[in-house]
Structure 1
Amino acid sequence: MARFAIGERDFLLDGEPHRVLAGALHYFRVHPDQWADRIEKARRMGLNAIETYVAWNAHEPVRGSFATDGALDLDRFLRLIGEAGMHAIVRPGPYICAEWDSGGLPAWLFRRPGIRLRSAEPGWLAEIDAYLDHVLPIVAPLQIDRGGPVILLQVENEYGAYGDDTAYLEHLVRRYRGGGITVPLTTVDQPTDDMLERGRVDGALLTGSFGSRVPERLATLRQHQPTGPLMCSEFWDGWFDHWGEHHHTTSAEDAAASLDELLAAGASVSIYMFHGGTDFGFTNGANHKGAYKSHVTSYDYDAPLDETGWATPKFRAFRDVIRRYAPVPEEDVPTAPAAPALTAAFDRTVALSAVADRLGEELGPFDAPPAFDDVEHPRGFGIYAAPLDGRSGVLVVGAVRDRAQVLVDGVPVGVLERDRHDHALRIPAGRRLELLVEDRGRVNYGDRLGEPKGLLGPVTLDGLPVTGWTVRPLRLDRLTAADLGDAAGTDAGAAFSIASFDLDAPADLHLDTTHWGKGVAWVNGFHLGRYWARGPQHTLFVPGTQLVAGTNELVVLELHGFRDPAVRFVPRPLLGQVEE
């Protein structure tokens, strides 16, 4: 068996100096039938390792039920890396950030009484120990000294930007070692004096996260760690997008020049991201730095391999740099071919109100609206309702997390948006008040981790409390036309539209949402994610591995109405305008 260790100045593979050339590829953001393809393309760029986070909330959305099959088969993903002749770096968190919903922390965790996130508080430690009881038995047998690909494991994630509880980090180190982890441990922080010191722990190598000013950042890292290999374990080569902003890109030439500086200094690297993938379903996260901003569905990240798995100019620029320092395979990776272009028409529309009872149980009554978290609804949509008894006036809510379509007697009367700081809306007289509330993604960074979602009280109408609430959490993680039954017709509110389209053979597609409003879509039951006319993103990636030769089904939940109801699949992704 091979051995991987930390030397005086280098990583050591069987006693010989070894440079880690890794790239980030998150298994939970890529269709599992496309894992091997993306891993092979990393090898062809000259990388010798794949790095991945582990998303706790993807594996355990319900406490006590830890899934490891299908798209969550971490064991299979790591074995595929080994079969490609590459090494693996595992970052189990438990907090991962990653622009992922709640930074990977499950929603049920925040309901635990007295819990203090990312600290040595006993309740938190008990929960993460239980989580690691699932993860470490997968990772430990696949370490390099047992014949597997895993060479490094990261302790926490950018902890120096959050806290300074050394006892917590020390607990993690003991837990990893006690759980059979024998490979070197690392931490990662931005290379500033305070973050490196707050995030360090005995027994783990300091590494940095940055994408520019390489000599300065490496010098700071070396000041805090006089010996051991230098490593940038998050080399930022792109960026993420929020709804309502431009599509972020970075210069391939500038990024390649910084990578060249890094490798010329003898450092190891993990490129974040090598391939970003997609936040399918309701898995995108959000930021809140004075204003709430949720991330788009695409996690293209302007990475060397684009969202659909094809080489970009950055791929070729990085490969040319890597070739100066390490062997690079001769096999090429082509740029993206044009995807099939086709059109279809919706052949049935179903009002959400007509099938809501098929999609979730109505709970209540409650004196005040419960948060999604109070009814164990981790993410997505819920319908809140209360009697109006003929009243009208100004409706005032404590907070909407994160968007509410307001209806009176089934007729939409307005929208309350968190990112616009909306709290009030004048409503007409009616019998029944409804709010279709959307959790647009939980904050994944900073001190708002764990905040509740849904409709938060108090709720008043002309200053008087609104009571007698019910809430219906909607189960929408997977949806087909069969789930909607035989209902048809629509009203003025949100509605499902159903179409079919034929393919000669499965192929990756780009669903054009340019002329739609706001909603979510499913193909053959698979949740593609959110779309919004606000942009910048105007296509949804459809993995060909989710399609079949012959007839395929599309279901769309449109919240407001189509400007043009045609179904179009276009040859190229439309990720939005870039900043000039």
Structure 2
Amino acid sequence: MKIISAVLSLFFVVSVASAQNLTPPPTKPTTTVDFKIGEDDFLLNGKPFVIRCGEMHFARVPKEYWAHRLKMIKAMGLNTVCAYLFWNMHEPQPGKFNWEGMADAAEFCKLAQKEGLYVILRPGPYACAEWDFGGFPWWLLKKKDIGLRTQDPYYLARCRIYLNEVGKILAPLQTTNGGPIIMAQVENEYGSYGNDKEYIGKIRDYLVEAGFKIPLFTCDGASQLGEAVRDDIFSVVNFGGNPESAFKELRKVRPTGPLMCGEYYPGWFDSWGAKHHTGSTEVVVKEIKYMLDHKASFSIYMAHGGTTFGQFAGANSPPYAPETSSYDYDAPISEAGWDTEKFHALRNLFKGYLQPGETLPEIPKRNPLIVIPAFATTEIAPIFSNLKSPIKAEKLRNMEEYDQGYGSMLYRTKLSKKNSSILNIKDVHDFALVYINGKRIAVLDRRKNENSCKLPATKSGDVLDILVEAMGRVNYDSDMYDRKGITDKVTLTELNGTEKELKGWEIFPIPLNNNAAPKNLKYKRGKTTMPSFYKGSFSLNETCDTFLDVSTWGKGLVWINGKCLGRFWNIGPTQTMYVPGPWLKKGKNEVVVLDYLGPIKNILAGIKTPKLDELTKSAKNTVHRKEGQNIQLQDITPVYQGSFESGIAWQTVKFNTVKGRYFCLEALNSQRKDDPYTTIAELYLLDENGKEIPRNNWKIAYADSEERDEDDGKADNVFDLQGTSIWHTQWSDKSPKHPHQIVIDLGAEISCSGFKYLPRQNVENGRIKDFKVYLSSSKFKGL
């Protein structure tokens, strides 16, 4: 998804800055530029052009800092900037469009042109980008039977309306009109989702209808290229390593034309409860140098990640993994816009590949920082004391059906006299607090697949409250139909096994605004253990950037002067929130904190250094193997055993079709001698026809070892659709030897005729050599 626009941006910049007659983007939309896709190269005014592009999302950067960040991108040595449009930011309600403030896409493009950068545009309608719902507006989910990313008539009609509005705003800024936009992407990484090439053609046609005359392209990962490539739309490939192998895959579907990497990953995004991700500077420089030496264009995703302010951070699934508000990405330009070691290494690299007459500008100074002394919140407004009139309903419904996009929802009903029972919620989306008569009984976390809890004995008339917080909607793959609140029903199971659905509800919507702090709350002084809003203030003599330390708080959201900084959660890895200087003011500044769990200390402070990698102990130690647990395979005949080839390319293993629910891959050794580790980037199973089996119901049932303390090596990474994240057996504390096993519960019995394995991409450690495969209809002994 990020790959296409990044690639396009890069190629456009390179062409413009092409050798001999360096042609920067016109600083005013008057002079047109001829940009074309040739047999071997991108052609800028008829001459070969290499795009050196970097991705930056203007929605993740305060508008006041757009010029600074673009200057940084230019100073790093790039000639193009790539940018997504997020549909849900530009059309927050059907037919109501927003192109102002941080949604002012036209102004961003004009500023890029002023800094001598071309623009690659990624308008959607689908983006992904770890953004809520992949950029789709939440209100699409009000239609119960909507078919996202399909030829569903309603979905296509809304896409057409949206893209037509995009054309009104941005088509005048194409290079054909003297503007900086050289290419535009059609959809995004569709090959990882579907194979309806007619659908891709329709989205392309809507862009043309909207007035886009520049080259259009699609992007996909190397293994998905064949699913969505059309002969009449240019294509690029996304990858986080091994450009030689990825470009070979691109050549299989695109024999001619320039090579381009649409998304090259210098780091990775973070999810709550997992380690902060980083990428090797040495590897990044080596692989970008390879592309430059082979005259391949590229887009660095991200050149500058920024921050997902408000409630726009998305989630991956399965398993459900909401992403942090910090989108630092270990990018060359940090979350706060700082130059990094990676920035300087790439700047030095690019100095050797400049076009004749091209020079690099000076590096802009970092924005200054301030320390805000610790201050306490002084007032509280408990959620339960600030409820509005309820909606009464016999059966409950999800948040979208109540015309609510973001925030929380409280579901309330009265219980009858019962002995202890089990409360079952189908399903919790995403974080629930369960109360009886105002006393908290349980906390349920969707990340852990928690949908039930034990209730004590109750008497007739006891009040059951279920407060559900909506976190990020899934932004990738088939789990995107991610409606919030309680998605189906609530039942009670008695000790004798009798199950009964609870009915007769009062529903209290608690909508939260991304652009303004909650209003009309009844604040008071005092203390509480209930979910509450906390208010405090501090005074400033000067306004500069800072990082708000929220490490003593529980879980929730923060607003400063009405601007929502994003989410915090004490599990980490992020323990601070970036505060842009322009959002502060001299004199009194007001802070509102919503905390569902309650703080250890109601203290806040502004510090100069972010805390991006501080996990709590409970978050670090979540593994898929109980202490002393081992599965027994010695009495089971494997369905296949063999050896993988060395290297990093996808490998396919086929065997006679077998039915089963539990799939086990056992690694007997590694490609490197005396290497005790096992690593896997991705796994797909194949059905009886050799087609990939959907993975949305998969769960890890067992992994003998996982690195969770010093790296994100969880076993779930083998089906997270990301080739740069891996299952890695433990290495920081101890290094258990082979064999290593991973067991996947497929969710139902399936017919399997083989599997596809993607080795670890960046280094050789842990790549499997000899292996065995087991498939069983029942659990393996020891599970």
Asked whether the two chains share a fold, i.e. TM above 0.5, the reply is yes
**Hey, what does 2:505 align to over in structure 1?**
469
Matches of 2:387 and 2:230, distance apart in 1: 51
Q: Which moved more, 1:412-421 or 1:160-169?
A: 412-421
**Hey, what does 1:407 align to over in structure 2?**
435
What amino acid is aligned across from residue 386 of structure 2 in structure 1?
A: V
Matches of 2:71 and 2:346, distance apart in 1: 16
Change (3 A) 1:431 1:412: same
Aligned partner of residue 280 in structure 1, secondary structure: coil
TM-score, scaled to structure 1: 0.95
Change (3 A) 1:29 1:218: same
Matches of 1:483 and 1:342, distance apart in 2: 29
Instruction: Please say if 1:6 is aligned against 2:37.
Output: yes
Aligned partner of residue 352 in structure 2, secondary structure: coil
Matches of 1:131 and 1:335, distance apart in 2: 37
**Hey, what does 1:106 align to over in structure 2?**
137
Change (3 A) 1:538 1:336: farther
Deviations 1:467-499 (A, max 9, x none): 111222223224447542454445431111111
Matches of 2:173 and 2:418, distance apart in 1: 64
Deviation at 1:61, TM superposition (A): 2.5
**Hey, what does 1:158 align to over in structure 2?**
189
Change (3 A) 1:330 1:71: closer
What amino acid is aligned across from residue 526 of structure 1 in structure 2?
A: K
Deviation at 1:410, TM superposition (A): 2.1
**Hey, what does 1:346 align to over in structure 2?**
377
**Hey, what does 1:518 align to over in structure 2?**
555
- 2:313 pairs with 281, 284, 290, which one? 284
Deviations 1:134-166 (A, max 9, x none): 111112100011011100000110111111111
Matches of 2:252 and 2:156, distance apart in 1: 32
User: Is the 2:429–2:469 contact (alpha carbons within 8 Å) kept by the matching residues of 1?
Assistant: yes
User: Is the 2:368–2:545 contact (alpha carbons within 8 Å) kept by the matching residues of 1?
Assistant: no
- 2:218 pairs with 187, 194, 208, which one? 187
**1:15-54 → structure 2 map (5 Å cutoff):** 15-54=46-85
**1:359-508 → structure 2 map (5 Å cutoff):** 362-363=390-391, 365-388=392-415, 393-394=420-421, 395-428=423-456, 429=458, 431-461=462-492, 462=494, 463-477=499-513, 478-480=515-517, 483-508=520-545
**Hey, what does 2:704 align to over in structure 1?**
none
Instruction: Please say if 1:302 is aligned against 2:298.
Output: no
Matches of 1:528 and 1:13, distance apart in 2: 41
- 1:318 pairs with 338, 341, 346, which one? 346
Change (3 A) 1:61 1:490: farther
Deviations 1:385-438 (A, max 9, x none): 112256563322121011111122222221111122222222343632111101
Change (3 A) 1:486 1:330: closer
Matches of 1:62 and 1:390, distance apart in 2: 44
User: Is the 2:370–2:543 contact (alpha carbons within 8 Å) kept by the matching residues of 1?
Assistant: no
Aligned partner of residue 386 in structure 2, secondary structure: helix
Deviation at 1:259, TM superposition (A): 0.8
Aligned partner of residue 127 in structure 2, secondary structure: coil
Deviation at 1:126, TM superposition (A): 1.2
User: Is the 2:166–2:210 contact (alpha carbons within 8 Å) kept by the matching residues of 1?
Assistant: no
What is the alpha-carbon root mean square deviation over aligned residues? Answer: 1.8
Q: Which structure would you say has the larger RCO, counting Cα contacts within 8 Å and 6 or more residues apart?
A: 1
Instruction: Please say if 1:205 is aligned against 2:241.
Output: no
Instruction: Please say if 1:118 is aligned against 2:157.
Output: no
Change (3 A) 1:113 1:348: closer
TM-score, scaled to structure 2: 0.71
Deviation at 1:216, TM superposition (A): 1.6
What amino acid is aligned across from residue 309 of structure 2 in structure 1?
A: F
Matches of 2:202 and 2:344, distance apart in 1: 42
What amino acid is aligned across from residue 382 of structure 1 in structure 2?
A: M
The answer for unaligned runs of 5 or more in structure 2 is 1-31, 615-709, 712-731, 733-783
Aligned partner of residue 447 in structure 1, secondary structure: helix
Deviation at 1:314, TM superposition (A): 0.8
User: Is the 1:495–1:558 contact (alpha carbons within 8 Å) kept by the matching residues of 2?
Assistant: yes
Aligned partner of residue 51 in structure 1, secondary structure: strand
Aligned partner of residue 484 in structure 1, secondary structure: coil
Aligned partner of residue 203 in structure 1, secondary structure: coil
Matches of 1:250 and 1:106, distance apart in 2: 32
Matches of 1:68 and 1:450, distance apart in 2: 27
Matches of 1:221 and 1:293, distance apart in 2: 30
Deviation at 1:19, TM superposition (A): 1.4
User: Is the 1:517–1:558 contact (alpha carbons within 8 Å) kept by the matching residues of 2?
Assistant: yes
User: Is the 1:350–1:489 contact (alpha carbons within 8 Å) kept by the matching residues of 2?
Assistant: no
Deviation at 1:220, TM superposition (A): 2.1
Deviations 1:17-58 (A, max 9, x none): 111111111111111111111111111111111111111112
- 1:245 pairs with 250, 271, 274, which one? 274
User: Is the 2:367–2:545 contact (alpha carbons within 8 Å) kept by the matching residues of 1?
Assistant: no
User: Is the 1:350–1:490 contact (alpha carbons within 8 Å) kept by the matching residues of 2?
Assistant: no
Matches of 1:117 and 1:499, distance apart in 2: 43
User: Is the 1:51–1:270 contact (alpha carbons within 8 Å) kept by the matching residues of 2?
Assistant: yes
The answer for unaligned runs of 5 or more in structure 1 is none
Deviation at 1:340, TM superposition (A): 2.1
What amino acid is aligned across from residue 28 of structure 1 in structure 2?
A: A
Matched residue pairs, number?
573
Deviations 1:69-118 (A, max 9, x none): 11111111111111212111111111111011111111211233543221
Aligned partner of residue 139 in structure 1, secondary structure: helix
Change (3 A) 1:173 1:466: same
Aligned partner of residue 158 in structure 2, secondary structure: helix
Matches of 2:309 and 2:527, distance apart in 1: 27
What amino acid is aligned across from residue 271 of structure 2 in structure 1?
A: H
Instruction: Please say if 1:267 is aligned against 2:304.
Output: no
Deviation at 1:337, TM superposition (A): 6.0
Q: Which moved more, 1:510-519 or 1:391-400?
A: 391-400
Change (3 A) 1:201 1:423: same
Aligned partner of residue 222 in structure 2, secondary structure: coil
Q: How many percent identity over aligned positions?
A: 37
